[in-house]
Structure 1
């Protein structure tokens, strides 16, 4: 399909930079769609209380902008990775997975978020791409490592040949968690490490982007861009731009997408 992205993207959508010209990527915000409050305006997920016709319109517009179809996942905060191989009619029930990879230029990888961390993957030579939904459960469980392994396998490449972009998520000054989250990452409340900071008795502030960067670096990824934990990347702090579940549980979903031209 022809590339129709340039000039069609709302001004506040993210355009993740990847080094190879064959890689296309975008992340949506609340802007550009037809949904009414509290789903205004570019909600991309049905079944949340939004008008189904508005969601369908938004999804059709998204696919027109990127110039190719996408396939929804049933995201469950797990570590399963779905392989997209064709543009056949989507299954009646979306596959249960929290990451998606492809080596096909006919379809885009899409994951959805509303406070969780989106991570996009691309081979530096433009042979394969992937996208992962990384809430704390998936991140602790290894969803980024699982996605990286699948992209490497598709591209016949090492982790050092994969670059990643981390999108907006709940920020390190707003994401308060309990001891169970620290234990899931293998650290103790007595020695929480650099990614957790005590905020009140039995509560800590977790730095999702730092945790993701730490795990990707250990896995061998050397090229990482995007969210560095700065305030501008925080979804909860900017509900006028981003859907944020912690700000308002009845809200929409944004999408992070990557594809091969």
Structure 2
């Protein structure tokens, strides 16, 4: 099956893609293009999937770089293949021929580019990372390489939508402690629970950081099992594990 790659118009100056699960070699609960080496999928299948994605991006597989993601605000400037994967959640580069990737299954994959400065970035942003500042840290790291935030285009790929993201009262209270205005990212649920707008929160952080453009592809990972992996959906189904979607950008 052919790979399915979602793109963002705002990033059209750079080769990039938010890959769906279609077109991969994995089977079972991982069926499709599982690109997560941290999953319990067969390592050979994951390797084949990553090679297919790298081919689509027109880079060698060892130049498709993803980190050991830890829900942090840590970002690294990369200039070549990793000897050992860093424990970080943001990558930036000005080196041609490198593809920066993030792996997600409900969290936000955020790809960024200053096409004029030829600087790109990629961030993995779940609620912890976004709250800790990984998006702003990635923008800062891009500026250190010559980008200007007013020229940066940022696109959020497939992520869990507010309708599918129910949270408890302690979660809401922690965000209100940060800023009472965060109440706008929560909608009423049942039994004291509410629904969190992760993508809306991410877009707010990006826009307040001063990027020139920030948008979302408007795809929900939870509600479309044929196209996307979802940690939360897999948990609700009591599945043993789940696949990871790849999103990547290159110069």
Taking structure 1 as the reference length, the TM-score comes to 0.86
Given the superposition, is the C-alpha separation of residues 239 and 189 from structure 1 closer, same or farther in structure 2, using an over 3 Å criterion? farther
Give the 3 Å change call, closer, same or farther, for CA 190–179 of structure 1 in structure 2: farther
Partner SS, residue 8 of structure 2: coil
What does the per-residue CA deviation read over 1:156-196, in whole Å, with 9 as the maximum and x for residues that have no partner? 42x21111111111101110112333344345899752111
Q: Between Structure 1 and Structure 2, which shows a larger proportion of helix residues?
A: 2
Q: Is the 8 A contact 2:114 2:147 kept in 1?
A: no
The 5 A counterparts of 1:1-261 are 10=3, 12-18=4-10, 21=13, 23-68=14-59, 69-87=63-81, 90-91=82-83, 93-157=84-148, 159-187=149-177, 193-227=183-217, 233-249=219-235, 250-260=241-251
Report the Cα distance in structure 2 between the residues aligned to 1:20 and 1:26, rounded to whole angstroms: 10
Q: Is the 8 A contact 1:120 1:257 kept in 2?
A: yes
Inter-CA distance 191–202: structure 2 relative to 1 (3 Å threshold): farther
Structure 1 residues 201 and 188, CA, compared in 2 at 3 Å: closer, same or farther? farther
Q: Are the counterparts in 2 of residues 152 and 162 from structure 1 also a CA contact under 8 Å?
A: no
Figure out how many residues of one structure are paired with residues of the other and give that number.
243
**Any gaps of 5 or more consecutive residues in structure 2?**
236-240
Q: 1:79 to 1:19 in 2, by over 3 A?
A: closer
* Alpha-carbon distance in structure 2 between the residues aligned to 1:189 and 1:152: 27
Distance 2:88 2:179 in 1: 31
Gaps of 5+ in 1: 1-7
Q: Is the 8 A contact 1:77 1:133 kept in 2?
A: yes
Moved more, 67-76 or 173-182: 173-182
Q: CA deviation at 1:227?
A: 3.6
Following TM superposition, by how much is the alpha carbon of 1:20 offset from its aligned partner in structure 2, in angstroms?
Answer: 6.1
Task: Indicate if the aligned counterparts of 1:99 and 1:143 stay in contact, CA closer than 8 A.
Answer: yes
CA distance in 2, matches of 1:109, 1:191: 33
Q: Does the aligned pair in 2 maintain the 1:20–1:126 contact within 8 Å?
A: no
